[in-house]
A = this chain, B = another copy of it.
Amino acid sequence: MSNTKIRVTLWNEFRHERTHEHIKKIYPDGMHKTIADALQKQGCITRLAALDDPEHGLTEEVLANTDVLTWWGHCAHGEVSDEIVERVHRHVVERGMGLIVLHSGHHSKIFRKLMGTTGNLRWREAGEKERLWVITPGHPIAEGIGDFFELEQTEMYGEFFDIPTPDDVVFISWFEGGEVFRSGCCWQRGKGKVFYFRPGHETYPIYHNANVQKVIGNAARWARYAGNATPNTCIWAKDPLEKLETGV
């Protein structure tokens, strides 16, 4: 495991924060800036990128220098170019870039492409209470979190959540209104790791919460690539490793 600093790029749709006064007050420089500040304190090198940047801020060069990418989108999923989605996908599955998808990113093009499912879920915006229970206490993403943590006011996401069976489920949420949700889910895709983390509605100060910040930092450390260096391509293994008796 490398001891060099993790390079995290924080991608944000960055529209709500510029158009809604209430949200601007919570996140004057955008949700991605708030998360970036928290990750810097945890020792990460951070970079911001947004939908309205050229190439959405995700040039080949930026991605090639990104260990872990976080993704927040909501109202403008359709404006993300398919070409950039292909590029991000390639960096995840072929190179092993980690991806942390936040909250309403469940419907983003990149998440649906990596999952193969719709990402559909049940939802309600009523400012209710959420309690996230740790169900895999030995998981590195749960490091430093107790049995559970609470968010006083959140948008509700409920099951059935249309995702493939996760490799690990770290958190399950309880909602005051009667629903449950798999709120922290891990998957391997090619050489890359993907973490979906539910909290994050733009109208509440979720990304200022210390537990939320800790989980995102843990996830960045978990998602960093640490496998083998062989390219993930189709390989014509013309010459067998062993002598064939029956072959032609």
Contacts and interface: CB of A to CB of B under 8 A. Distances in A.
Interface of A: 1, 3, 93-94, 96, 113-118, 120-124, 126-129, 131, 133-140, 142-147, 152-153, 156, 158-162, 164-165, 167-169, 172-180, 182, 187-193, 221, 225-230, 232-238, 240-248
A25 to B, nearest CB: 17
A242 B182 contact: no
A38 to B, nearest CB: 17
Nearest to A135: B159
B124 A236 contact: yes
Nearest to A127: B248
A219 to B, nearest CB: 12
20 contacts: A1-B221, A114-B116, A118-B232, A122-B235, A123-B235, A129-B245, A129-B246, A131-B241, A133-B160, A135-B161, A137-B160, A138-B191, A142-B227, A153-B246, A160-B230, A164-B164, A164-B188, A174-B179, A176-B242, A179-B241
A24 B20 CA distance: 62
A228 B174 contact: no
Q: Which 3 A-B pairs have the closest CB atoms?
A: A177-B240, A178-B241, A127-B248
Contacts of A246: 127-129, 152-153, 176
A233 B137 CA distance: 12
A221 to B, nearest CB: 6
Nearest to A147: B230
Contact of A190 (B127, B138, B236, B245): B138
A167 B118 CA distance: 18
A43 to B, nearest CB: 11
B128 A177 contact: no
A248 B168 CA distance: 33
Contacts of A134: 159-160, 227-228, 230
